[in-house]
Amino acid sequence: MKSDLLRFEDWTNPVPAVAREVVSLTEGVEKDRPPLLFVPGLGHGAWAFAEHWLPQAAARGFPAHALTPRAGGDLRAHVHDVVQVAASLPSRTVLVGHGVGALVVAYAMGRYPAKAAVLAAPVTEGWPTLWAALRTNPVGTIPALFGGRLKLSRKQLFGPDLPAEQAQRILDRVATARPRRELITHDPAPRPVGDPPVLVVGSPDDRIVPRVSLERTATRYGGAPLLFPGMGHDLMLDVAWSEPIEAILDWLGKQS
């Protein structure tokens, strides 16, 4: 059985430090509110949250931060980055992960007693996501299976309502990523430390994270997913971006 206490990997081979890009909005926030740390997934950076969710959270009084995961890092390095940034904030942080970023958050919860966590459209199960991606976007996905680049498509990321021009602008910003094999082969995420409340949000029309997958993830954390029909995978950039973030902030308000 893998040990929780004997962390030889961290002791003998610590993740090297890098300069991390963190976008923060903390002006005019309320003192007793916990800080939020947004963690984007594959191909996305802090910019994906800086667009709508970050200002919205700050407007509701939450100190809001978004992290760009280090380029070329593996899951362990990304978890390290999230825990490093969370620990550098003044109080227990709420981790909000999206897509593969939600997987990173799920792992980070095993390392850091988060105040709460939100898994948005979480890519916590590799196989269902792979099948869904192959069905929706075979041309963009197949090269990634052979170590090539993954090219996400409009159909995967957004619902039909987002104007084409706006969608293209965002797609141009999404970097082509090389997903690692470990996205499929990783162990189930560790049990969270400190028993944080966990919310799973997603869309039944997400072409990357199937609904069953969402439900299984939510069940694992003892709840049901909060669903936003009609939206694509990119909940924070699709036309109806305000609905999920408002729901998340309402939920957070009820936690303390």
- Binding residues for other proteins (CB under 8 A): 3-8, 10-17, 80, 83-84, 87-92, 111-113, 193-195
Question: Which has the closest alpha carbon to 90: 26, 40, 47, 38?
Answer: 26
Least Å distance, CB 87 to other proteins, is 5
Least gap, CB of 153 to other proteins (angstroms): 36
Residue (112 or 158) nearer to other proteins, CB = 112
Pick 10 or 182: Cβ nearer other proteins: 10
Instruction: Characterise 32 by phi-psi region: left (phi > 0), alpha (psi -120 to 50), beta (else).
Output: alpha
Name every residue whose Cβ is closer than 8 Å to that of residue 242 and which is 6 or more positions away in sequence.
52, 56
Shortest reach from residue 113's CB to other proteins, in Å? 6
Q: How far apart are CA 83 and CA 108, in angstroms?
A: 6
- CB of 35 or CB of 140, closer to other proteins: 35
Instruction: Write down the least CB distance from residue 5 to other proteins, Å.
Output: 4
Q: Whole-number minimum distance, CB 32 to other proteins, in Å? A: 11
CB of 30 to other proteins, least distance (A): 16
**Which structure tokens are listed for 70?**
């280090």
Query: Using an 8 Å Cβ cutoff, are 93 and 36 in contact?
Result: yes
Query: What interhelical angle do 126-136 and 138-145 show, nearest 10?
Result: 130
- The residue (of 114 and 118) whose beta carbon lies closer to other proteins is 114
Q: Which is nearer to other proteins, 8 or 146 (CB)?
A: 8
Q: Would you say 66 and 50 are in contact if contact means Cβ atoms under 8 Å apart?
A: yes
Contact by Cβ (8 Å): 120, 236: yes
- Beta-bridge partner residues of 21: 68
Select 167 or 189, whichever has its Cβ closest to other proteins: 189
